[in-house]
Structure 1
Amino acid sequence: MIATDGSVCSRVATNKKIELARLSGGTVYSVYVIFTEYFSSIAVDFNRERMHETLRKDGYKALKIVKGIGELENVKVKSILLEGQSVAELIRYSEEEK
């Protein structure tokens, strides 16, 4: 499982993890979590739906980067977009998928 945020550091880690998956013949589960705690601190008059959509787009972009790296290395990548508290969602997903 690769937890990604689309940052440069995340891309460096992704390259290493994709390489490990290629060597082992594994599938990569690329996960991006929309951190919904942002919404609780936003002013009431702010357009929350627009912010949510922006965060979703950011998530899809980050997942697309991982998928592209996987394709270059002939590694199967399954992309997952989750919402909630990042650490809790990553743990929940990994436990559900084993």
Structure 2
Amino acid sequence: MYSDVLLATDGSECARAATTHAIDLAATYGATLHALYVMETRTGYDSDIVDPATIEDELRAEGEAVLEGVSDESRARDVALVDRIRKGVPEREIADYVEAEDVDIVVLGSRGESAFKTVLLGSTSEALVRDLSVPVVLVSDGDGETESTA
């Protein structure tokens, strides 16, 4: 049913719960797990105080750490993993990845790292549910509840 499962992750609590769910799906169907971390560009730093290259380096290091955790979990479950870090607007980068890699289903946390950014910029999960033609599974933190859309 699924040969390519995409986990879109930002390291948040919900994303960690989504990681477990995505690995379960990939293990169940013998699918390849794709883990994608997008370095957000809409919250750029236009200040002489903050060096944009330093911020990008920090975001990349954070993404590498998040993906290393996904790698550890997927290896423990014997799930094939492809991981990537991209830079841009998360919903656009995720949608482009889905199309380019012919992904069958997307799994992500229902809420991301920053509630403040969600208020200002709109919800990545909401945009993906609305715009993608593949199923999107939203996973909440703590209670294990999931929401699924087609």
Task: Classify the TM-score, shorter chain.
Answer: over 0.9
AA at the equivalent of 2:79:
V
Would you say 1:51 and 2:55 are equivalent positions?
yes
Indicate the residue corresponding to 2:32 in structure 1: 27
Instruction: For residue 38 of structure 1, give the secondary structure of its aligned residue in structure 2.
Output: coil
Counterpart-to-counterpart distance in 1, 2:25 and 2:100: 23
The answer to whether the 8 A contact 1:6-1:65 is kept is no
Aligned runs of 1:1-98 on 2, under 5 Å?
A: 1-39=6-44, 41-98=45-102
- The percent of aligned pairs where both chains have the same amino acid is 29
Q: Which has the higher strand share?
A: 2
Q: Which has the higher helix share?
A: 1
The count of aligned residue pairs is 97
Structure 2 gaps of 5+ residues are 1-5, 103-150
TM superposition outliers: structure 1 runs of 4+ over 2 Å: none
Counterpart-to-counterpart distance in 2, 1:72 and 1:28: 13
1:42-78 CA-partner distances (Å, limit 9, x unpaired): 3134211111100000111111111111011110111
**More RCO (CA 8 Å, sep 6+):** 1
RMSD: 1.1
